[in-house]
Each structure stands twice: as C-alpha cells, then as structure tokens.
A and B are shown apart, each in its own frame.
Chain A
C-alpha cells in the first residue's frame, strides 16, 4: 500500500491541471477499501510560502498558518482516529461521518479544518486574481449579477461571519451562491460544492492586517485586495469543474461533485524552497 501511495504521489507531481481530474482519486479510494489507509497527510500549498507577499499575504502568516495551524489539525485528527473505524475512511468520509447532523463529534473540527485549509491553499495563488474567465465567469454573471456584485457579497460574507469561520463561493442545486460558515463548518454538509474560499479566522490575517478583517477578504479602500489579487480562478478551469457548473441537473451530478471534492485535495508537492522556521524570526 505504501508503495502504491508513493507511486500515485509521484505520478501526480508536476501535473498541475490533470491532478485535479477525477480518475486517479477514485483509484485511490478503491485501493483504500482493501487495506488500512495511510494517515491523513499535510499537503504542501501549491505555491511557495512567500509567493503571496506582494498580494498582502505574508510569508510569516503562511508559515504559521500552514506550518502550525493546518499541521496541527492534521496531527490531531490522526491521533483521534488512530485505531478506530474512522481511520479507514477518507477525509471527506470522516467529515460526513462526524458531522452528526449538526452535533459534531470531536474529530469533526480537525477533519473539516484539515479539508478547509487544503481547499483554501487551492483557492488562492500567485497567479490568481482579476476577474475569472470562461464557464465560471459566465456562471457568476448569470447567478450572481457579475464579478463586481460577487465581490461585494463575498466580502460581506467574510466580514459578517462573527467569530471564526469561512466565506465561500459554492455550487448549490446547479447555481452559484455566496455563503459563510462558522468555525470548522463547510458547505459539504449542506449539499453544496465549494468552489472558492477565504479563511476569516483571525489567525489567517492577524499578523498582516490585525483587526481589519475586510482587508483579508476584499475592500475597495484598501491596498490589500486578496480576492482581486489572489483568487485562483485557474484551478476552477478544468473540464470537470466546467461540466459541473454547466450541469442542469444537480442530483445526477452529485456523485461527480463528490469525486471532484476529493480530487480537489491536492497531492503532495515538493516542499517549498523558501520554507524555513528560523528565517522568519
């Protein structure tokens, strides 16, 4: 099994677009059924930790956010599920199994936060920003009244999530929606497919902008417009996502959506060259 996983990971490496495709992940799921799954792993962000410095997200934040917070969710989850039936399930299955109709068990927070952060790294990137193009742009025009309106409602969602939480662009019943969730919750429990997220836990932005949370999301008066400058629309541009967005019948696409969610967990990529704990002090 270990060899299979290693082979899979090496086959993923370098395939920046096709690694989001569905098929390899499904193979991974099938392989997991017969053998106990390896521990949940911490994926590296698909960019260097200092790659977003110019876009308002410092290396110091990334080092603590990814290297401490995200890592801790992964480590704590593995400790919690070790030796239990949950240990044989995929991360998405753990999230669903522990959500428990809104009375989540202890594993839920760590599992969902592991997933949310991985998805967050995929949602932002050094080559991101600007208005989207293609199918997602069309869907935003149709469902949300255009990119400017979308930015307003996404910013509003992030700014008004009281306490800790997340702002999301999701697909719900075949339509795009902007939504928000508290703490570790994510749209998967509500039958929605996340397409883009912004972390509005204070740890996501406090080093960079302290109490000015709207700067984390997007605000016109600010020099920091993370959504404008970081949104990784490119990662939405693969064929599966397009098909999903254009799908008229949500129910028949649900299985596909779940597969895409799983595929969205990025494979292991090489450790960012700039990563260093000591350097940043």
Chain B
C-alpha cells in the first residue's frame, strides 16, 4: 500500500492571516506531494517495507532495517511525509480551540514554568535552526522537551538527538513562510531583519495556532 497525500483538515485559506492560502496550497500540493512520491519510489523496490506505517518507517530511519540504497531517500522523503502530515494536524483555524487540556497544562507548567515560557523556548529553537529544519515539542518517558532537527529529520527517527513522541512541530524551511515573510519584510528598513530570524514573526503566529490546537 503506497503512502498517499493526506487531505488537509481545513481549507487552504483557513489559517489566514497567519499563513496565506497560496503558501498552504504550494506547501501541501507541491512540497508534501513530492515527499510522498519520492518515499513511495524508494520503498517500492523493497517488499519487506511494504505495509510499514509512516511512524514505523520513521522509527526505522537510522537503523539497518532501511536498506542502505534507500536510506537517504527514506530519511529525507519519509521524514518529509511524516513531518508535513503531522504539521497539518497540529494547526487549526484561529480562535477554534481552547488551549491545552488540564493534564497537558500541568505538564507544561512543571517542565517550562508556564505556557508563555514554552512558547518563548520553542520560538528560540525554531529561530536558531540554521538552514532548513523543524522545531519540536516532544514527550519522552513522561517528560516534555523542546528540540530542533535539520532538514526533514524528526524526533521519531532513531538517529534524532532528542527522541520522543512529537506533540508540536513547526516547519522552518523557508518554503513554509517565504512568500508571506518577504512581503512583510519589504516594508521594513534594510537593517531590521535578520535572516535566521526571518521566521520569527511566522513562529509567533503559527505557535499561537498550534498551542490553541493542543
């Protein structure tokens, strides 16, 4: 059974004004679709991987279960498919959620002090990721942690520095925010912006969407 592009749980325009519809459309129908196509192309040569779910496939990244010939393709495109599928699910339309559950709020408070502290640390992790990658909030053995991964790596993969079950993921590839950020930045004097911080307004916007979705 080949992997397939999941439908978004909302319209492309549902996350406006935080994420514009054009960005969502290209991100989902082009970038995500390419990862799906490429991971299918990689695994179809190996029947032993047939039927492996996306989570199990990612857990195998970095282990000998993935044949060396397709290790990079599965890491990148399998990671890309997993990450984007997750990303769409942890976001929601603005105003449609009531914040974290009592249990999660308690875990956040004991791990980070407060929800605001979590947001600040999460955004800092996102902004500090040089090049392409993701910021994560994960849970492992009952502990919450914030981390970031390069490219399409994720905390599910065996090779991740900080492994865990993802609770939040934020895409900080430039394709996730560039069309909108460019317009915003054009209005600022040249000295103000900082390229690795170009994503920060996006992080602030989107982490609101995500926190509300928990």
Contact = CB atoms under 8 A, between A and B. Distances in A.
Contacts of B139: none
A92 interface: no
B30 interface: yes
Given A69-B195, A163-B150, A207 B190 contact: no
B182 A75 contact: no
A26 interface: no
Contact of B178 (A72, A183, A207): A207
A172 to B, nearest CB: 23
Interface stretch (A33-41, A59-67, A132-140, A245-253): A59-67
A68 B193 contact: yes
Interface in B147-163: 150-152
A202 interface: yes
B189 interface: yes
Interface string B83-101: 0000000000000000000
B64 interface: no
Given A68-B193, A73-B195, A163-B133, A281 B186 contact: yes
Interface string B27-44: 000110010000000000
A67 B183 CA distance: 14
Contacts of A184: 130-131
Contact of B174 (A73, A76, A201, A281): A201
A277 B173 contact: no
A202 B196 CA distance: 13
**Interface size class of chain B, counting residues whose CB lies under 8 Å from the partner chain:** 20 to 34
A210 B26 contact: yes
Contacts of A76: 194, 196
Contacts of B68: none
A202 B131 contact: no
Contact of B186 (A72, A73, A162, A280): A280
A68 B195 contact: yes
Contacts of B130: 109, 183-184
A203 B173 CA distance: 10
A207 B151 contact: no
A164 B132 contact: yes
B7 interface: no
Contact of A72 (B76, B150, B195): B195
B65 interface: no
Interface in A144-170: 162-165
A68 B34 CA distance: 29
A184 B186 CA distance: 24
Interface in A4-55: none
Nearest to B33: A211
